[in-house]
Amino acid sequence: MFPILNTDRLVLRELTVKDAQAILDCFSNPDVLRHYGQKPLTSLAQVKQIIDDFSQNYDEKRGIKWGIELKGQEGIIGTIGFQEWSTEHKRADISYALFPESWGKGYALEAVNRVISFGFQEMELVRIGAIVFY
C-alpha cells in the first residue's frame, strides 16, 4: 500500500489522475522549471502517463513520488519524492517542486524533513542524494 505521510501542515499522498491539471500547471511554469532542470510538460496525456510511471516505479521499487497537499484543503501544492532508488545499494535521489504561490512558507523544508526521515527509517536507505538547480 502506498504510504501516506503527515507533517504539522501537510499531507504527502499518492498522485492520481485528478492531480494531472495541477501537475501540468506546475511543470509548465518557467519559474518552477528554472529550479527543476527539465523540459516543460505540454499535455494532460503526457502528465497522465507520468502519473502511471510513478505508480509503476513504486510497485517496482525504483522510485516514489508524493503529491504535497495542505491539511484540510484539496489539491496539491507540489510534489516530492525519490528516484533512482536502489534497494541493493540502499540509496535514492530526492527531488521536489512547489507551485510558486507556496514558496517562502516553509512547506518544502517540512516535506523534505518528513520524506528524508521516511527514507532512512522505512525504506532503509543509507544515502540520499540531490541535484540542485538554481
Q: Which residue has the cell 504527502?
A: 12
Q: Is residue 25 part of a domain?
A: yes
Contact between residue 86 and residue 127 where contact means Cβ atoms under 8 Å apart: no
Give the range of the structural domain holding residue 68, as residue numbers without chain letter: 5-129
C-alpha cell at 87: 534497494
In a domain, 47, yes or no: yes
In-domain check, residue 122: yes
- Read off the pLDDT band of 126 (50, 70, 90): very high
The answer for residues whose C-beta is within 8 angstroms of residue 4's C-beta and 6 or more apart is 11, 12, 13, 14
Q: What is the mean pLDDT of the chain?
A: 93
Look up residue 93 and give its amino acid. Answer: D
The count of domains in the chain is 1
Q: Is the pLDDT of residue 88 over 90?
A: yes
Angstrom distance (rounded) from CA 16 to CA 110: 22
Question: How many CA within 13 A on the CB side of residue 18?
Answer: 7
CATH of residue 97: 3.40.630.30
9 lies in some domain: yes
Share of the chain above pLDDT 70, in %: 96
pLDDT average, residue stretch 102-120: 97
Name the residue among 127, 26, 14 with its Cα closest to residue 81.
14
Q: Is residue 134 part of a domain?
A: no
- Answer yes or no: is 14 within a domain: yes
What confidence tier does 131 reach under pLDDT thresholds 50, 70, 90? confident
- 29 in helix, strand or coil? coil
Which pLDDT tens digit goes with each residue over 35-53? 666 788 899 999 999 999 9
Structure confidence at residue 133 as a pLDDT band (50, 70, 90) = low
The phi and psi torsions of 74 (rounded to 5 degrees) equal -85, 145
Question: Model confidence at 59, in pLDDT bands (50, 70, 90)?
Answer: very high
User: Where is pLDDT greater, at 40 or 128?
Assistant: 128
Grid cell at residue 116 = 528524508
Calculate mean pLDDT across residues 2-14: 98
Is residue 32 situated within a structural domain? Answer: yes
